[in-house]
Structures are given as structure tokens and as C-alpha cells.
Amino acid sequence: MIGYLLELGYDLCIAPDFNISGNPGFEIVLGVNK
């Protein structure tokens, strides 16, 4: 969970136009496999 949180926090700081991640974060917890 901490790993997901850290990833999400930094993901939110990246400019949306250049961020190539489409992951929502917490994929396994959300039951979303990207």
C-alpha cells in the first residue's frame, strides 16, 4: 500500500501531457489489472 501511495504521489506531480502512465494506482486493490 505504501508503494502504491508513493507511486501515486509522484505520478500526480508529473505534467499530464508528458506522463505516459495510464495506471490508476492501487491496481491490485482496486481489482484493475493494467
What residues contact residue 34 under an 8 Å CB cut-off, 6+ apart? Answer: 22, 23, 24, 27
C-alpha cell at 30: 482496486
- The distance of closest approach from Cβ of residue 13 to other proteins in the complex, given in angstroms and rounded to an integer, is 4
In the bound complex, what is the minimum distance in angstroms from residue 12's beta carbon to other proteins? 6
Where does this chain bind other proteins (CB under 8 A)? Answer: 1-26, 29-32
Nearest distance from C-beta of residue 23 to other proteins, angstroms? 7
Query: Which DSSP helix (H) or strand (E) runs through 17?
Result: none
